[in-house]
Amino acid sequence: MRDFKTLNVWEKSHKLTLRIYDITKSFPNYELFGVTSQIRRASASIPTNISEGCGRQTQREFSRFLGIAFGSAAEAEYLILLSRDLGYFDNQIYSELTEKVEEIKKMLSSLIGTIK
Give pLDDT < 70 ranges for the chain: 1
Q: Note the pLDDT of residue 116.
A: 77
Indicate the residue type of 34: G
Count of structural domains, the chain: 1
What CATH number corresponds to the domain at position 69?
1.20.1440.60
Listed as own residue / partner, the contacts of 52-59 with beta carbons closer than 8 Å and 24 or more positions apart are 53/4, 54/1, 54/2, 54/3, 54/4, 54/7, 54/10, 55/1, 55/4, 56/1, 57/1, 59/115
- Backbone Cα Rg of the chain: 14
pTM of the model: 0.95
Q: Note the pLDDT of residue 91.
A: 98
Q: Note the pLDDT of residue 22.
A: 98
Q: Which residues contact 78 (CB under 8 A, 6 or more apart)?
A: none
Q: Note the pLDDT of residue 68.
A: 98
Domain that residue 70 falls in: 4-115
